[in-house]
């Protein structure tokens, strides 16, 4: 990272810390300052005890000094508890703030982002990086300020006490700082590499765990383990290497620190023998040196930790700053309660990547009170049309209108609120069957729910379950069959009051008889809505009011079932083929 960029990152980081925590930070600062002040008093008491109380055999003074010393230690200890408590509050606050902000931002990004998303990396940002910030970033920043104050104050005292002894100590200390600075740079680079590798491995594991059933079935476990073992080996080596480097560095520092003690007692002892120094002065000098070195080491060490925190902050900011391509137009037009929705595609063209037009000059109308169907081979662009209506992506050319207003002029939240999409594998939660259908919607009448479940024949399989509608269905509904899952998703959609309802191959896992029943129920429950039906089986859509046949991103035929059969082209061919297969 360039220094300039680092400074910007750092100041943004500090702003986030300070925002909303001003009072807390002020209190923390005062407490730290008091603790530092108390620390500075201790060597003075030591000196009085050794030189004046013990040296002059003054019991009275000894008792007083010891009581004072005890008091200082106790107050310091209590303040430390308060400090940790307040710090902990602040750390959690900031971590939660960053996490929420990242999670919310994620939901505002476009289909483009979601298509290329690396789940593992994002999880690693949300866990490890925010953890880094929480644990290394915040308290260190505060303590640095205090450490600087303590170090400077101690230095002044030491200059007055023993300047020549101080110089010896400082030279050694300077060498320590040089070693540490070099090391901290190296550590920062190595940490970044490790974090990156860690993210890669998280991705692999995520892919493995979330597809475990498929992986077992397709026997591709070996493939995963080959990649995983290799990556894991690289990571392990990097980690061990880093640990070794840290250990070496610690030992170097320990030796140097030992040299400081040795020189204090060697040179200082000589001065006492020559009567240039009292024993109390030497001991208190040593204590002060501790007070000088401790904050200096902390400052230098915190440099490495701040580097780590900055790397983490950079990754978090990258996520938070990911541009929102499809803007939430909060002032935009809204679909009102009594509106019906006519959706019109006018010359719409669109491509996911620049090379190929996935939709090419599409003209389609979806009307309320009607069912409009899209058919076509897989990859012909049917789901893409849905993605555009939901504004996961925006069109490249042409316009999409809802009630003659361009959909880009609508309030995005409101637009999406009015669209319900049921896909082949809609998202199910590891919750009860009932909750999966109701989805926290409190205003759904029990009667309507029971009636619908009866009609969709959800009851048939639910009644066989021990806990009925309260049965928990496992992650993504693993405990249900494909057809059962689809019925739940359809029920969920039919209970909603969205004006536009889209079924994208939503009945693909149902057998023919179940499908007929489900289709009848859908019709009954969506009368005044704009219904879009995508299916690869023609039998599913023969009753549609209007059918569009797509091929390579173009509409090649349109009409109702009878008209299209008369046409005697692609649609008829598809229909005949399906019939013969049956
Ligand atoms: P279908 O008619 O089967 O629903 P889609 O609309 O999903 O077809 O896809 C149309 C074409 O767009 C396909 O060639 C597909 O590979 C491509 N495509 C779909 N989604 C994406 C995406 N997120 N990024 C890039 N290409 C995509
Ligand atoms: Mg599709």
Ligand 1 atom index nearest CA of 353: 25
* Distance in Å, CA 380 to ligand 2 centroid: 8
Q: Is the pLDDT of residue 403 over 90?
A: yes
Half-sphere exposure of 264 (CA within 13 A, CB side): 24
Is ligand 1 within 6 A of the CB of residue 352? yes
Q: Are 56 and 73 in contact (CB under 8 A)?
A: no
Closest CA to 554 of 319, 339, 380, 306: 380
User: Residue 562: pLDDT band by 50, 70, 90 thresholds?
Assistant: very high
Q: Which residues sit opposite 546 in a β-bridge?
A: 372
Q: Are 395 and 348 in contact (CB under 8 A)?
A: yes
Q: Which ligand is nearest to the CA of 421?
A: 2
pLDDT score of 503: 95
For the segment 542-554, what is each residue's pLDDT rounded down to a tens digit? 999 999 999 999 9
Mean pLDDT of the region 291-295: 86
Is ligand 1 within 6 A of the CB of residue 113? no
Is ligand 1 within 6 A of the CB of residue 380? yes
pLDDT score of 405: 94
Q: Is the pLDDT of residue 377 over 70?
A: yes
Residue 391: CB atoms within 10 Å: 21
pLDDT score of 1: 64
Residue 257: CB atoms within 10 Å: 16
Q: Is the pLDDT of residue 224 over 60?
A: yes
Task: Give the residue, out of 351, 353, 381, with the most ligand 1 atoms within 8 A of its beta carbon, to mutate for a pocket test.
Answer: 381
Q: Whose CA is nearest to atom 16 of ligand 1?
A: 379
More confident residue, 303 or 534: 534
Q: Is the pLDDT of residue 138 over 80?
A: no
Window from 29-38, 136-145, 215-224, 512-521 with minimum mean pLDDT:
136-145
**What mean pLDDT, rounded, does the chain reach?**
89
Please identify every residue whose CB atom is under 5 Å from ligand 2, which is an ion: 383
Mean pLDDT of the region 420-445: 88
For the segment 472-493, what is each residue's pLDDT rounded down to a tens digit? 988 878 888 899 999 999 999 9
Read off the tokens for 490.
Answer: 């359809």
Rounded to 5 degrees, what angle do the CA atoms 542, 545, 551 make? 70
Ligand 1 atom index nearest CA of 115: 23
Return d(Cα 483, Cα 467) in angstroms, integer. 20
* Distance in Å, CA 381 to ligand 1 centroid: 6
Ligand 1 atom index nearest CA of 381: 6
Ligand 1 atom index nearest CA of 534: 4
Q: Is the pLDDT of residue 347 over 60?
A: yes
Mean pLDDT of the region 331-338: 86
* N-terminal to C-terminal alpha carbon distance within the chain: 64
pLDDT score of 450: 93
pTM: 0.74
Q: Is the pLDDT of residue 72 over 90?
A: yes
pLDDT score of 31: 92
pLDDT score of 452: 93
* Distance in Å, CA 428 to ligand 1 centroid: 23
């Amino acid at each position: 990272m360039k220094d300039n960029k680092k400074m910007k990152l750092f100041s943004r980081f500090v702003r986030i810390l300070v925002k909303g925590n001003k009072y807390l930070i002020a209190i923390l600062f005062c407490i730290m300052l008091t603790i530092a002040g108390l620390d500075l008093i201790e060597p003075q008491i030591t000196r009085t005890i050794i030189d004046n109380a013990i040296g002059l055999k003054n019991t009275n003074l000894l008792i007083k000094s010891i009581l004072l010393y005890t008091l200082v230690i106790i107050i310091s200890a209590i303040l430390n508890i308060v400090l940790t408590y307040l710090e902990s509050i602040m750390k959690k606050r900031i971590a939660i703030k960053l996490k929420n902000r990242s999670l919310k931002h994620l939901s505002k990004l476009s289909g483009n982002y979601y298509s290329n998303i690396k789940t593992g990396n994002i999880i690693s940002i949300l866990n490890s990086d925010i953890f880094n910030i929480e644990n290394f970033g915040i308290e260190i920043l505060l303590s640095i300020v205090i450490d600087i104050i303590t170090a400077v104050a101690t230095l002044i005292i030491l200059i007055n006490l023993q300047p020549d002894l101080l110089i010896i100590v400082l030279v050694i200390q300077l060498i320590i700082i040089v070693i540490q600075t070099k090391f901290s740079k190296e550590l920062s680079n190595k940490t970044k590499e490790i974090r990156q590798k860690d993210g890669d491995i998280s991705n692999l594991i995520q892919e493995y765990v979330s597809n475990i059933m498929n992986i077992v079935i397709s026997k591709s476990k070996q493939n995963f383990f080959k990649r995983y073992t290799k990556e894991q080996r690289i990571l392990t080596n990097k980690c061990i290497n880093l640990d070794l480097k840290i250990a070496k560095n610690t030992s170097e520092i320990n030796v140097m620190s030992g040299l400081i003690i040795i020189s204090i007692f060697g040179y200082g002892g000589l001065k006492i023998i020559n009567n240039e120094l009292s024993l109390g002065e030497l001991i208190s000098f040593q204590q002060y040196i501790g007070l000088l070195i401790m904050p200096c080491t902390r400052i230098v060490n915190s440099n490495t930790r701040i580097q780590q925190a900055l790397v983490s902050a950079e990754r978090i900011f990258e996520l938070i700053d990911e541009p929102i391509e499809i803007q939430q137009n909060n002032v935009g037009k809204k679909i009102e309660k009594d509106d019906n929705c006519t959706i019109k595609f006018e010359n719409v063209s669109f491509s996911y990547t620049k090379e190929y037009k996935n939709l090419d000059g599409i003209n389609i109308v979806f009307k309320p009170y009607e069912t409009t169907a899209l058919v076509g081979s897989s990859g012909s662009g049917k789901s893409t049309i849905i993605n555009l209506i939901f504004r996961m992506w925006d069109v490249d050319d042409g316009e999409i209108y809802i009630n003659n207003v361009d959909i880009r002029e609508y309030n995005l939240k409101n637009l999406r609120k009015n669209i319900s999409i049921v896909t082949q594998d809609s998202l199910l939660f590891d919750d009860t069957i009932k909750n999966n259908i109701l989805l926290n919607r409190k205003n759904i009448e029990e009667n309507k729910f029971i009636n619908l479940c009866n009609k969709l024949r959800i009851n048939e399989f639910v009644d066989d379950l021990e806990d009925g509608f309260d049965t928990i269905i496992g992650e993504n509904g693993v405990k249900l069959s494909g057809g059962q899952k689809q019925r739940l998703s359809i029920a969920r959609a039919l209970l909603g009051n969205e004006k536009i309802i889209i079924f994208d191959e939503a009945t693909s896992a149902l057998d023919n008889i179940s499908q007929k029943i489900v289709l009848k129920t859908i019709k009954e429950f969506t009368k005044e809505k704009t219904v879009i039906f995508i299916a690869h089986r023609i039998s599913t859509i023969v009753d549609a009011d209007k059918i569009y046949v797509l091929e390579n991103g173009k509409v090649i035929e349109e009409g109702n079932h009878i008209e299209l059969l008369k046409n005697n082209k692609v649609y008829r061919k598809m229909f005949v083929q399906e019939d013969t297969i049956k």
